[in-house]
């Protein structure tokens, strides 16, 4: 349709054009304001969530972490058995003669040459 | 008559060249994005660009009911202000507006004639193609113009084609401006009645 005909039709049948324009733009502006508000609210919420997330991540990484419970408790629960060297063992009996021999199966045995020493120092189970 | 000749020209006009289409598409995208951002200037531009076309479409859909058509246009733009998002181009935007318009008209008609709602929808689907609406309206206008007397036709042509004012027309006709003015209003009323009758007769 050419523009003259469009103009003619518009003038013939659309007498409320100006009033309608004003009313529509007014109503539309209200909707647009609401839309802008929603966008702003959404952006603000997203930004706040980002900041919160970054802050949480920062504190998570910088706070010194307590060692695992098992790591603390294990020494107390199971004290390490300290082995004595041969010399340390022999030094435990400074007042008497004592010898240490190695048996065939690799076990070691304390020998007390003086009678009564073995009974004195070693308590049999 | 030049009026009728121009009709023939306008119908057989070639479609716009690609660059023009691209420009229209860009404009449509810009307007839709602006409205989606809540830009009131973009909304005003959108209204001024599409309201006349939408009104003509609404007029055909409402079978010449000017009030219903006006309400439809208003509803469509308020909905656009609230919900329009990005579009691909001009055709997409126009289709969106036309679709919302069609829904609004249907709601109005449903309110008015609840009992015949289904029938109304069937009619709408047959007659609601956005591009066909202008043609229908143009046919109605042509038929109305055709029934005018030669002199009445001339007055319309002088005013709308040649841009003459009432005084200039009066000078040509050898009469007073007041006489031309009242005659012009009578012709407009006749045309308006005929166009509306023609559209409503399609019910």
pLDDT in tens, B129-142: 677 788 888 888 88
- Are B25 and B72 found together in one domain? yes
Residue A14 has pLDDT above 60, yes or no: yes
Section B150-166 average pLDDT: 88
Q: Are B23 and B123 in the same domain?
A: yes
Domain co-membership, B86 together with B43: yes
Position with higher pLDDT, B46 vs B68:
B46
Scanning every residue of chain A, which has its alpha carbon at the shortest distance from the alpha carbon of B80?
A28
Residue A69 has pLDDT above 60, yes or no: no
Q: How many Cβ atoms are within 10 Å of A120's Cβ, its own excluded?
A: 12
The mean-pLDDT minimum among A87-101, B105-119, B134-148 falls in B105-119
Chain A contacts in chain B segment 111-150 (CB below 8 A): 134-135, 137-138, 141
Q: Which of A79-88, B143-152, B171-180 has the lowest mean pLDDT?
A: A79-88
Rounded distance between C-alpha atoms, residue A9 and residue A11, angstroms: 5
**Would residue B53 count as lying in a domain?**
yes
Q: Which residue of B has its CA nearest to A27?
A: B78
The reply to whether B82 and B28 lie within a common domain is yes
Taking the whole predicted model, whether its pTM rises above 0.90 is answered as no
Residues on chain A touching B73 (C-beta within 8 angstroms): 20, 24
Most A-contacting residue of B51, B70, B148 (CB-CB within 10 A), to test interface: B70
The tally of domains found in chain B comes to 2
* Of residues A3, A34, A94, the one with CA closest to residue B3: A3
Q: In this predicted structure, what is the pLDDT of residue A34?
A: 93
As a dihedral over the C-alpha atoms of residue A32, residue A35, residue A40, residue A42, rounded to 10 degrees, the angle is -170
One domain, residues B154 and B123: no
pLDDT band, very low/low/confident/very high, at B71 (cuts 50, 70, 90): very high
Tokens of A8: 């003619």
For a pLDDT cut of 70, what percent of chain A falls above it? 84
Whether residue B40 lies inside any domain: the answer is: yes
> Do B109 and B164 share a domain, yes or no?
no
**Do both B68 and B40 map to the same domain?**
yes
Average pLDDT over residues A45-64: 87
Of B43, B70, B196, the CB nearest to A28: B43
Quote the pLDDT of residue A65: 63
> In whole angstroms, what is the distance from residue A26 CA to residue B44 CA?
10
ipTM of the complex in this document: 0.71
Residue-number span of the structural domain to which B180 is assigned: 147-203
For residues B152 and B122, membership in a common domain is answered with no
CA–centroid distance for B130 within its chain = 11
Band of pLDDT at residue B14, cut at 50, 70 and 90: very low
| Residue B162 contacts A where some CB pair is shorter than 8 Å | no
Which of A94-98, B21-25, B85-89 has the highest average model confidence (pLDDT)? Answer: B85-89
Sketch the domain layout of chain A as residue ranges. Answer: 3-62, 83-125
Flag if A25 and B43 touch (Cβ within 8 Å).
yes
Residue at a domain's end among B127, B155, B172: B127
pLDDT band at B18 (very low <50, low <70, confident <90, very high): low
User: A4 and chain B: CB distance < 8 Å anywhere?
Assistant: yes
Contact by Cβ (8 Å): B181, B164: no
Considering only residues B33 and B14, tell me which one the structure prediction assigns the higher pLDDT.
B33
The model's confidence at residue B19, banded by pLDDT at 50, 70 and 90, is: low
Q: Is A5 on the interface with B (CB under 8 A)?
A: yes
Averaged confidence pLDDT in chain B: 83
Distance (Å, whole) CA A60 – CA A65: 9
In a domain, B2, yes or no: no
Cβ(B87)–Cβ(B96) below 8 Å: yes
Q: With cut-offs at 50, 70 and 90, classify the pLDDT of residue B121.
A: low
Q: Does A83 touch chain B (CB under 8 A)?
A: no
Q: How many CA atoms lie within 13 A of B180 on its CB side?
A: 21
CATH assignment at residue B120: 1.10.1740
| CA distance to B11, B17, B19, B129, B163, per residue, from B14 (Å) | 9, 8, 14, 21, 26
B21 and B114 share one domain = yes
Q: Is residue B139 part of a domain?
A: no
A18 — contact with chain B (CB < 8 Å)? no
Q: What is the CATH number of the domain that holds B185?
A: 1.10.10
Mark whether B55 and B92 lie in a shared domain: yes
Could you report the per-residue pLDDT of A19-43, keeping only the tens digit for each? Answer: 999 999 999 999 999 999 998 999 9
Residue A85 has pLDDT above 80, yes or no: yes
- Residue B154 and residue B103 share a domain: no
**Do residues B122 and B153 share a domain?**
no
Question: B66, B94, B127 — which closes off a domain?
Answer: B127
Residues from chain A contacting residue B77 (CB–CB below 8 Å): 24, 27-28
Query: Does residue B7 fall inside a structural domain?
Result: no
The separation between the first and the last C-alpha atoms of chain B, rounded to the nearest angstrom, is 31
Mean pLDDT confidence for B99-120: 75
Q: What pLDDT band is residue B10 in, cutting at 50, 70 and 90?
A: very low
Nearest CA in chain B to A1: B10
Query: Do the beta carbons of residue B81 and residue A31 sit within 8 Å?
Result: yes
Res B114: pLDDT: 67
* Displacement of CA B154 from its chain's centroid (Å): 23
Average pLDDT, chain A: 82
């Amino acid at each position: 349709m050419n523009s003259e005909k469009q103009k003619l039709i518009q003038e013939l049948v659309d007498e409320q054009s100006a009033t309608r324009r004003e009313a529509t733009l007014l109503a539309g502006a209200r909707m647009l304001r609401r839309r802008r508000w929603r966008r702003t609210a959404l952006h603000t919420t997203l930004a706040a969530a980002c900041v919160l997330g970054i802050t949480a991540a920062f504190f998570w990484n910088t706070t010194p972490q307590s060692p695992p419970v098992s790591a603390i408790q294990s020494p107390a629960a199971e004290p390490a058995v300290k082995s004595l060297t041969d010399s340390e063992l022999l030094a435990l009996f400074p007042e008497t003669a004592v010898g240490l021999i190695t048996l065939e199966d690799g076990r070691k045995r304390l020998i007390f040459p003086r009678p009564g020493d073995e009974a004195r120092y070693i308590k049999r189970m | 008559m030049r009026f009728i000749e121009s009709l023939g020209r306008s119908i057989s006009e070639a479609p716009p060249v690609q660059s023009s289409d691209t420009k229209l598409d860009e404009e449509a995208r810009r307007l839709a994005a602006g409205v989606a951002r809540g830009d009131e200037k973009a909304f005003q531009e959108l209204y001024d660009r599409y309201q006349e076309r939408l009104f003509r479409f609404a007029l055909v859909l409402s079978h010449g009911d000017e009030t219903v058509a006006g309400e439809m246009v208003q509803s469509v733009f308020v909905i656009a202000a609230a919900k329009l998002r990005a579009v691909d181009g001009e055709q997409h935007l126009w289709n969106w507006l036309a679709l919302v318009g069609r829904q609004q008209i249907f709601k109005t008609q449903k309110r008015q004639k609840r009992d015949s709602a289904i029938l109304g929808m069937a009619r709408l689907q047959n007659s609601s193609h956005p591009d066909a609406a202008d043609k229908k309206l143009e046919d109605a206008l042509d038929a109305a113009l055709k029934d005018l007397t030669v002199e009445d036709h001339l007055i319309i042509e002088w005013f709308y084609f040649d841009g003459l004012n009432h005084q200039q027309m009066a000078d040509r006709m050898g009469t007073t401006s007041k006489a031309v003015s009242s005659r012009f209003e009578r012709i407009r009323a006749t045309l308006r009645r005929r166009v509306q009758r023609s559209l409503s007769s399609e019910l």
